[in-house]
């Protein structure tokens, strides 16, 4: 065989090796389904069986003592009322919570009931009235535009006379008022200037205000002549606005002219001179102009406001029509699933609020945690005490377990919480108990704060001796029939929590290696509740039986076909 043939066979072998040997990255997903069950949250601690059978009874709230129900040396049963604090505020909170819950239940009941014919008829009538209101508002708006044009027309019956009258009053030579063909404005200024030069300021102001008013009037009058009552609404609105501003300018010019002539009259009178009687005539004329312009300004403003009010009425009618149309559609279609779910959630929230309020109310009552004898009463009626104050001392025949908890766990413990006790010395023995006492002040050891917690045994067992080691699991929260998933399924993004789900669930598999999917899962935001070491409560976001990802496995798998030995043999050492 030639050298070329050997090389060709070698290349073929290399190609075959590459074809039959591949390395691929594969992602697999381990999944489970969200399920309902009982979720228990507990705190664990360890300690010893106490050699003492004495328990200090303390209130959980602060307030004035209003009742003491026991005496020294009196035997009491578990749950007996030892003392009561003033609980009026807490009782009011309970009453309010009960009323809120009842209101939420009524709302839910209304949603669950199908709409009756009367409700549908009432909504239909409301919708019809909304449509009638819109039609009336449209008719009113049309009339408002007609009235507004009439108002503008009435204004222009007077404005030409007023603007011409202002011109004649200032820029003409009234007989008997001056000489040498002086304009009236110059006469008033010259006659006053030698006594008070401030007259020039009044003259300039009157002249300027007249010029502004005249220019506005000339432009406005042309626009008025170009319009008619059939003009489009935009033109009429613009004409109203323009006429209002023009009238305001003429009113300002009238006021400035009045100030100018009145200053002339006041200065001459102050110097014991007799002003021209024509000045009184001019002032009277200006007062007439002022009255007319003020009336027209009010009429124009009223026309503007009427149009705006009618337009707003149409907008409000449209909103009302949309709301009533949607309400009618909902009534005919039945209760919306989301509305029903929201109402059910509100009832649940109100139930929780009532439960919390009742728990707070119970804090104002000091009760015996188990049977025993009152050794000492440390309070009296009308005392003001705080939480942690020793109210009484109870001696019991029950055994007590005393455990230590850190400050974080101790903050979650409450008197009366149930606990489970186990003992190293007695294999297989489990005793139920409840929290009887919590230290008010912690103990600091090497910078670590711990609190002693006493747990009373619900049952007695002679095998348990004082000083024995004991482990306790105190139940701090429990939810029954609640939706939950494994902790590994819940992930966080900032303050949000989410789970990963597939739009098309993967086939069920018992393999711990999971299943591959061509499409990656998507993130579904969820609201979480309580959690323990293994599971987390899901309040909203997913439903029962939804498949969630608990673990994602990314691996490199290598599949290699069996190859014949290389023609070149294995490499040899030298």
In the prediction, which pLDDT does 326 show? 84
Counting beta carbons within 10 angstroms of the beta carbon of residue 175, is it exposed (0 to 12), middle (13 to 18) or buried (19 or more)? exposed
**For range 291-296, the mean pLDDT:** 96
| 241 occurs within a structural domain | yes
In the prediction, which pLDDT does 109 show? 87
Q: DSSP character for 386?
A: -
| 369 occurs within a structural domain | no
Q: Which residue has the higher pLDDT, 26 or 502?
A: 502
542 and 526, same structural domain?
A: yes
What are 89's two structure tokens? Answer: 């505020």
Q: What is the per-residue burial (b if ≥16 Cβ within 10 Å, else e) of 141-167? A: beebbebbbebbeebbebbeebbebbe
134 and 208, same structural domain?
A: yes
pLDDT tens by residue, 271-284: 999 999 999 999 99
| 179 occurs within a structural domain | yes
In the prediction, which pLDDT does 511 show? 62
Separation CA 326–CA 330 (nearest Å): 6
* DSSP-assigned states of every residue in 236-298: HHHHHHHHHHHHHHHHHHHHHHHHHHHHHHHHHHHTT----HHHHHHHHHHHHHHHHHHHHHH
269 and 158, same structural domain?
A: yes
**Number of domains forming the structure of the chain:** 4
170 and 92, same structural domain?
A: no
**For range 187-211, the mean pLDDT:** 95
226 and 305, same structural domain?
A: yes
94 and 232, same structural domain?
A: no
In the prediction, which pLDDT does 462 show? 83
- The CATH number of residue 540's host domain is 2.40.420
In the prediction, which pLDDT does 366 show? 92
pLDDT tens by residue, 173-186: 876 776 677 899 99
Separation CA 61–CA 83 (nearest Å): 12
In the prediction, which pLDDT does 55 show? 86
| 73 occurs within a structural domain | yes
Contacts for 482 with CB less than 8 Å, ≥ 6 apart: 36, 37, 38, 39, 529, 537
In the prediction, which pLDDT does 16 show? 45
Q: ∠174-179-185 over CA atoms, to 5°?
A: 55
93 and 73, same structural domain?
A: no
| 480 occurs within a structural domain | no
Confidence category of residue 38, pLDDT binned at 50, 70, 90: very high
304 and 168, same structural domain?
A: yes
On average, the pLDDT of the chain sits at 86
Separation CA 354–CA 360 (nearest Å): 10
In the chain, % of residues over pLDDT 90: 52
pLDDT tens by residue, 260-270: 999 999 999 99
Domain ranges, residue 276 = 127-331
Q: What is the per-residue burial (b if ≥16 Cβ within 10 Å, else e) of 70-85? A: beeeeebeeebebbbb
Q: Does residue 83 contact residue 68 with C-beta atoms inside 8 Å?
A: yes
In the prediction, which pLDDT does 556 show? 54
359 and 263, same structural domain?
A: no
Biggest CA pair distance of the chain: 146
pLDDT tens by residue, 299-336: 999 999 999 999 999 999 999 999 988 888 777 776 77
Q: DSSP character for 468?
A: -
69 and 148, same structural domain?
A: no
**For range 530-559, the mean pLDDT:** 82
| 14 occurs within a structural domain | yes
| 435 occurs within a structural domain | no
In the chain, % of residues over pLDDT 70: 90
Measured in whole angstroms, how far is the alpha carbon of residue 405 from the centre of its chain?
38
Q: Which residue has the higher pLDDT, 145 or 557?
A: 145
């Amino acid at each position: 065989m030639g050298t070329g043939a050997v090389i060709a066979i070698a290349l073929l072998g290399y190609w075959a090796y590459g074809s039959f040997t591949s390395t691929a990255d594969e992602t697999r997903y381990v999944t489970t389904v969200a399920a309902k069950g009982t979720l228990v949250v507990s705190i664990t601690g360890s300690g010893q069986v106490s050699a003492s059978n004495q328990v200090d009874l303390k209130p959980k709230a602060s307030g004035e003592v209003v009742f003491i129900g026991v005496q020294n040396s009196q035997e009491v049963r578990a749950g007996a009322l030892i003392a009561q604090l003033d609980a009026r505020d807490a009782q009011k909170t309970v009453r309010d919570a009960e009323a809120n819950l009842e209101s939420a239940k009524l709302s839910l009941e209304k949603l669950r009931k199908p709409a009756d014919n009367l409700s549908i008829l009432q909504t239909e009538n409301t919708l019809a009235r909304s449509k009638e209101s819109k039609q009336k508002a449209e008719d009113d708006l049309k009339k408002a535009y007609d009235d507004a044009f009439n108002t503008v027309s009435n204004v222009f019956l007077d404005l030409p006379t007023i603007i011409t009258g202002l011109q004649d009053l200032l820029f003409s030579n009234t007989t008997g008022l001056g000489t040498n063909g002086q304009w009236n404005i110059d006469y008033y200024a010259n006659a006053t200037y030698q006594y008070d030069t401030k007259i020039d300021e009044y003259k300039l102001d009157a002249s300027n205000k007249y010029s502004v008013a005249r220019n506005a009037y000339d432009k406005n009058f042309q626009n008025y002549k170009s319009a008619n009552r059939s003009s489009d609404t935009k033109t009429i609105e613009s004409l109203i606005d323009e006429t209002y501003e023009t009238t305001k300018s003429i009113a300002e010019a009238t006021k400035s002219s009045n100030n100018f002539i009145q200053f002339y009259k006041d200065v001459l009178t102050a110097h014991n001179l007799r002003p021209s009687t024509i000045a009184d005539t001019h002032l009277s004329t200006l007062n007439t102009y002022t009255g007319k312009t003020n009336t027209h300004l009010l009429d124009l403003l009223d026309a503007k406001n009427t149009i705006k009010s009618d337009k707003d009425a149409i907008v409000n009618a449209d909103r009302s029509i949309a709301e009533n149309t949607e309400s009618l559609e909902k009534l005919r279609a039945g209760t919306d699933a989301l509305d029903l779910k929201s109402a059910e959630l509100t009832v649940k929230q109100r139930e929780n609020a009532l439960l919390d309020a009742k728990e707070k109310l119970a804090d104002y009552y000091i009760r015996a945690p188990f049977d025993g004898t009152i050794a000492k009463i440390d309070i009296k009626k009308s005392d003001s005490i705080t939480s942690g104050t020793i109210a009484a001392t109870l001696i019991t025949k029950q055994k007590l377990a005393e455990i230590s908890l850190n400050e974080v766990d101790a903050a979650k413990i409450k008197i009366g919480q149930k606990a489970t006790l186990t003992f190293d010395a007695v294999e297989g023995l489990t005793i139920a108990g409840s929290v009887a006492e919590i230290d008010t002040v912690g103990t600091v050891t090497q910078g670590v704060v711990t609190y002693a917690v006493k747990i009373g045994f619900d049952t007695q067992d002679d095998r348990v001796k004082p000083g024995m080691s004991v482990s306790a699991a105190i139940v701090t929260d429990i939810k029954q029939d609640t939706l939950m998933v494994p902790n590994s399924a819940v992930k966080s993004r900032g303050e949000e929590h989410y789970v990963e789900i597939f739009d098309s669930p993967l086939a069920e598999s018992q393999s711990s290696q999971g299943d591959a999917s061509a499409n990656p899962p998507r993130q579904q935001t969820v609201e979480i509740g309580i959690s323990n070491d293994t599971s987390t409560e899901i309040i909203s976001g997913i439903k029962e039986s939804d498949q969630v990802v608990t673990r994602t496995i990314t691996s490199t798998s290598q599949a290699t076909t069996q190859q014949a030995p290389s023609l070149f043999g294995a490499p040899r050492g030298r």
